[in-house]
């Protein structure tokens, strides 16, 4: 493999292991962070010289993702790391890939095809965990708003069902409005505004949501109720985590009583590493690789000034929020983990490889 001279470089490229990333969609900070982390991990010293990463996005079209997966297999892919648009639509394309010896691994969005590997959080707990916190916070009594994701989506259905199971154990907790957020912050805010228009703030005691605890805070501040924020359990962005901190302690701190969960973008580089491990060693890996779901409740927020590799290691990977000047309030901040100790915040922001990695 010790190639010398220019003429040999293309031959070396041909020898490299072809890894493809197949993205179901593109265009938000969560996917952007996942993709940057994938690029960064492929450039760390363990993989840089022997792996070639190519990226394709299907822009929300299942047909396109099927075609791209077929094309990747044909082009000699050894590993495909995918975020699937649909848990069922890609199944036959995936089975074809498996039969050709390709390691097919998904992160976050799972597929039902049994030959695929998966890295992700426990989606039932993603619904139930925040629900349990909210029920505790409300002492088992109160009116709540329930906001799911996209109706008809499998992850959405699982999270909602698990959360509703929790709430069903508390007869005094009443769901007064149940409406989807479409996993879209603007939709979430419009829907919340509509609900408040009919129910009024006084009747509402809390919110369980898959998107937009932060917009829940915004709405209350806009209505002049910033001093008595109602609790929220749901998806956590950097702004949400910072808002959990005491008012005045850091810019953006509101003392917000909330539980903040998330499906971490670092699942993508971890899926890459797992697949490469299987490819290198030939040892089998589990089909379902559950990663810990962050569930940050009041008092557990750890604010880190830089979140570079040195600080992350020094704080034993406990960081879960950064200054809003580093990552915007809508940034999904769970981008680092001791499970992927090569990468830090800047890998997610700019696909940078930390020094020495």
Partner 1 sequence: MTTPALALALSLPRWGRQRGTLIAIAVLMVALLVLQAVSQSGITYFDISTISASASTLALAAMGETLVILSGGLDLSAGAIVSLVNVVLVTQLGQSTLGPEAFTLAALGLALGIGAAIGAINGALVAYVRLQSIIVTLGTMFLAQGAALLIMRFPGGTMPDHFSLMFTGDLIRDGLPAPIVVLLIALALWLYFRNTRHGTALYALGSDEDAARANGVDVRRAKFLTFTLAGTCYGAAGLFISAQMGGGDPLIGGRMLLQIFAAVVLGGTLIGGGRGGAVGTVFGALTLTTIVSIFLVLGVRTFYTPIVEGVILMLAVLGFSVGRHWPIVAVIRNLRRTLVALRNGSLPTRFKPIGAPLSFTGGTVPAALPNWLARSRATLRYALPAYGLFIVALALTIALNADNFSPLGYLNTLLTLGAFLAILGLGQGLVIISGGLDLSVPWTITFPAILVTTFANGVDASSAWAVPLALAAGLGIGFLNGSAIVLFGLSPIIVTLAMNGMLEGAALVFSGGAPIGSSPPWLVWFVTGRLGGLAPLGWFLLGFVVVATLVINRTAFGRRVTAIGNSVLVARLSGVRTGVQIVGVYMISGLCSAVVGLFLGGFTNQAYFGMGDPFLLSSIAVVVLGGALITGGRGHYLGIVGGALLFTGLGIMLSGTVLPEAVRNIIYGLVLLGAVIALRERSTG
**Applying CB under 8 A, which part among 188-196, 252-260, 270-278, 308-316 lies near partner 1?**
188-196
- Please say which residue, 109 or 275, places its beta carbon nearer to partner 1: 109
Locus of tokens 């916070």: 137
- Can residue 151 be called a binding residue for partner 1 (CB under 8 A)? yes
- Can residue 263 be called a binding residue for partner 1 (CB under 8 A)? no
CB of residue 249 to partner 1, shortest distance in Å: 21
**Residue closest to 38 by CA, chosen among 340, 288, 320:** 340
**Applying CB under 8 A, which part among 176-184, 289-297, 315-323, 340-348 lies near partner 1?**
176-184
CB of residue 356 to partner 1, shortest distance in Å: 27
Answer for the pair 100, 131: CB distance below 8 angstroms, yes or no.
Answer: no
**Applying CB under 8 A, which part among 122-130, 174-182, 247-255, 280-288 lies near partner 1?**
174-182
Distances (CA, A) of 72 to 69, 76, 83: 5, 7, 15
Residue selected from 3, 12, 16, 32 as contacting partner 1 according to rule CB under 8 A:
32
- Can residue 328 be called a binding residue for partner 1 (CB under 8 A)? yes
Tokens of 253: 């701190």
- Can residue 17 be called a binding residue for partner 1 (CB under 8 A)? no
How many of the chain's residues bind partner 1 (CB under 8 A)? 75
Q: How far apart are CA 83 and CA 114, in angstroms?
A: 16
- Please say which residue, 180 or 297, places its beta carbon nearer to partner 1: 180
- Can residue 249 be called a binding residue for partner 1 (CB under 8 A)? no
CB of residue 335 to partner 1, shortest distance in Å: 13
Residue selected from 42, 43, 68, 238 as contacting partner 1 according to rule CB under 8 A:
68
Could you list the beta-strand ranges (E) of 193-250.
206-209, 232-235
- Can residue 189 be called a binding residue for partner 1 (CB under 8 A)? yes
**Residue closest to 307 by CA, chosen among 23, 33, 21:** 33
Which of positions 89-128 make contact with partner 1 (CB under 8 A)? Answer: 89-92, 112
- Residues 6 or more apart whose CB falls under 8 angstroms from that of 332 comprise 29, 30, 33, 236, 237, 238, 262, 264, 265
CB of residue 16 to partner 1, shortest distance in Å: 13
Cross-strand bridge partners of residue 18: 52
Helices 29-42 and 267-281: crossing angle in degrees, nearest 10, is 30
CB of residue 26 to partner 1, shortest distance in Å: 7
Tokens of 127: 């619904």
- Please say which residue, 175 or 285, places its beta carbon nearer to partner 1: 175
Cα–Cα–Cα angle for 280, 286, 289, rounded to 5 degrees: 105
- Can residue 299 be called a binding residue for partner 1 (CB under 8 A)? no
Q: How do beta strands 79-83 and 103-107 pair?
A: parallel
CB of residue 54 to partner 1, shortest distance in Å: 5
Answer for the pair 171, 180: CB distance below 8 angstroms, yes or no.
Answer: no
**Applying CB under 8 A, which part among 29-37, 288-296, 303-311, 338-346 lies near partner 1?**
29-37
Q: How far apart are CA 242 and CA 250, in angstroms?
A: 8
CA quadruple 55, 60, 61, 67: dihedral, nearest 10: 10
Contact characters 216-245, partner 1, x per CB under 8 A: --xx--x-x---------------------
CB of residue 278 to partner 1, shortest distance in Å: 24
- Can residue 152 be called a binding residue for partner 1 (CB under 8 A)? yes
C-alpha 39: how far from chain center = 17
Residue selected from 108, 132, 137, 191 as contacting partner 1 according to rule CB under 8 A:
191
Q: Is 137 helix (H, G, I), strand (E, B) or coil?
A: helix
CB of residue 215 to partner 1, shortest distance in Å: 7
CB of residue 6 to partner 1, shortest distance in Å: 20
Q: How do beta strands 51-57 and 79-83 pair?
A: unpaired
């Amino acid at each position: 493999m010790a190639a010398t001279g220019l003429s040999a470089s293309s031959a070396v490229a041909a020898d490299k292991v072809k890894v493809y990333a197949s993205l179901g969609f593109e265009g938000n900070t969560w996917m952007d962070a996942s993709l940057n982390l994938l690029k960064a991990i492929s450039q760390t010293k363990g993989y840089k010289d022997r792996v070639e990463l190519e990226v394709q996005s299907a822009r929300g079209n299942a047909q396109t993702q099927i075609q791209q997966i077929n094309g990747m297999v044909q082009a000699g892919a050894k590993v495909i790391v995918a975020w699937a648009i649909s848990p069922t639509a890609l199944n036959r394309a995936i089975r074809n890939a498996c039969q050709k010896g390709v390691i097919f691994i998904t992160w976050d969005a799972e597929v039902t095809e049994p030959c695929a590997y998966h890295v992700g959080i426990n989606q039932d707990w993603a619904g139930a965990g925040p629900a349990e916190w909210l029920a505790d916070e409300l002492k088992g009594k109160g009116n709540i708003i329930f906001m799911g994701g996209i109706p008809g989506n499998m992850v959405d259905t699982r999270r909602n069902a698990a959360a509703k199971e929790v709430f069903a154990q508390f007869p005094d907790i009443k769901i007064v409005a149940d409406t989807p957020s479409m996993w879209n912050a603007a939709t979430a805010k419009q829907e919340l505004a509509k609900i408040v228009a009919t129910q009024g703030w006084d009747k509402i005691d809390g919110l369980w949501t898959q998107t937009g605890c932060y917009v829940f805070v915004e709405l209350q501040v806009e209505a002049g109720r910033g001093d008595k924020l109602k609790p929220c359990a749901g998806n956590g962005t950097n702004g949400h985590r910072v808002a959990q901190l005491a008012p005045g302690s850091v810019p953006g701190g509101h003392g917000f009583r909330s539980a903040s969960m998330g499906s971490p973008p670092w699942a993508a580089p971890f899926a890459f590493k797992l697949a490469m491990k299987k490819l290198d060693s030939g040892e089998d890996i589990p089909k379902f690789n559950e990663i810990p779901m962050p569930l940050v409740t009041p008092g557990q927020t750890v604010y880190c000034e830089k979140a570079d590799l040195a600080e992350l290691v020094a704080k034993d990977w406990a960081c879960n929020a950064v200054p809003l000047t580093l990552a915007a309030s809508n940034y999904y901040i769970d981008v680092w983990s001791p499970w992927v100790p090569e990468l830090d915040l800047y890998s997610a922001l700019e696909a940078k490889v930390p020094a020495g990695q």
